[in-house]
Amino acid sequence: MLDDSGSQDHRGTPEAPGRVVTLIERTFWEAISDDHATAADKVWGVAYRIEASKVQEVQAYLDIREINGYSIQYTPFHPADSSQPTLSCLAYVGLPSNPQFVGVQNPQKLAEHIYRCRGPSGENKEYLYMLELALAELSSESGDEHVKDLAYRVRRIEASQGDGTGGSKGGEKTDGVVAHKELERLNSTDEQEEME
């Protein structure tokens, strides 16, 4: 399941941590209350096959980037194409004991916080809009109501503040989702910090 964690080093600062999503175990998810009671039974995402010669390099990089408050777990990954076999994938799963783990928040207050935060990797709202777009593009079933609701709320705040572009520079709004033209696929551990 997805929940919110603070981002002090990518989409926020130690004084004003941005918000990013993190995978958490279903048992923890079921023990908390959320304003979005329609949480899906599955989490959508992308699995990457890493070339054998790059596995150690990629894992070392991810361990540094993601290890703060996460446990490394292998989890089943079910491709959207049900004719494909289930894969075992390494995932970084959030721990509620992580000091940056903030859990459930009031959606409007969370949207206001996301609107205000910015870090070395850019605006927190840009991360939210790109997450919304990425989820929408995975499958016709893959959108996340919590993410859509937050993006809608942040866009309303933008409009009320007079900067209602619906996204950030380089993006165009289509059906409430911001399409970013400047993103490109990168190899190995080259990265764009857009999706933390």
Q: Is 149 helix (H, G, I), strand (E, B) or coil?
A: helix
For residue 101, what is the DSSP state?
Answer: B
Catalytic site includes residue 15: no
The continuous run of DSSP H or E covering 136 comes out as helix 124-138
Select which of 25, 51, 57, 66 is catalytic. 66
Bridge partners, residue 4, by sequence: 21
Is residue 134 within 8 Å of 20, Cβ to Cβ?
A: no
Q: Tell how many helices (H) and how many strands (E) occur in the chain.
A: 5, 8
How many angstroms separate the CA atoms of 111 and 167, rounded?
Answer: 14
Catalytic residues: 66
